[in-house]
Amino acid sequence: MAPPLRTPRSTWVEEGLRALAAGGPDAVRVDALAKTLGVTRGGFYWHFDDRGALLAAMLDAWEQQAVDNAIALAEGGDARGRLRQLFRLASDSGDLLTIDLAVRDWARRDPAVAERLRRVDNRRMDYLRAQFAGFCADEEEVEVRSMLAFSVWIADHFVAADHGTRTRAQVLSLAVRRLLA
């Protein structure tokens, strides 16, 4: 008889991130995750000492996706090309943005998460600065464009305004063109 299959650690982390995105950190409960995965909670303890260890692993996975994977996918070509690719990735990052927003909300109540968020945002801004510096000589211009680019990605989710005869996608495309000019 074959040994029983264990639910992989990554599956617990992914489901935890989905729960975080849907309901915040309070929604990340071992029993609820096990029920959603259709397994017993015993498999959880094979991979994690406790819920806190899962939450830490979730933040690690979020940082990996939000920074390392995004940068790796954007690499290649010149600075403008890397930024264009990064903007394309950002426009298709629905699940990642939802998780990012949940982490931001969580950080308002948890100083350790706030510190992690600061580190992640600093890494993102450092990457943006490096790319904009590839074609902007003025340090102030680099900082402004980096901040605007990052802010547009985060704020776009919250803005409900109409744009006259233009669609949201058209306005975002115009914003990217201006940032890359």
In a domain, 3, yes or no: no
Question: Is there a contact between 101 and 157 (Cβ–Cβ < 8 Å)?
Answer: yes
pLDDT at 4 over 80: no
Question: What total of structural domains would you count in the chain?
Answer: 1
pLDDT tens digits along 151-164: 998 888 888 999 99
Please report, rounded to a whole number, the percentage of residues in the chain having pLDDT higher than 70. 97
Beta bridge partners, 163, equal 166
In a domain, 1, yes or no: no
Q: pLDDT at position 148, please? A: 97
Sequence letter at residue 114: A
In a domain, 4, yes or no: no
Q: Cα–Cα distance between 127 and 83 in angstroms, integer? A: 10
Average pLDDT, the chain: 93
In a domain, 32, yes or no: yes
In a domain, 79, yes or no: yes
Sequence letter at residue 68: D
pLDDT tens digits along 105-149: 999 999 999 999 999 999 999 999 999 999 999 999 999 999 999
Q: Where are the alpha helices (DSSP H) in 1-138?
A: 9-23, 30-37, 42-47, 51-63, 70-74, 79-91, 94-107, 111-132
**Domain limits at 13?**
9-180
Q: What is the CATH number of the domain that holds 93?
A: 1.10.357.10
pLDDT tens digits along 162-175: 999 999 999 999 99
Q: What is the pTM of this model?
A: 0.90
Q: pLDDT at position 91, please? A: 83
Binning pLDDT at 50, 70 and 90, where does residue 3 land? very low
177 phi/psi in degrees, rounded to 5: -60, -40
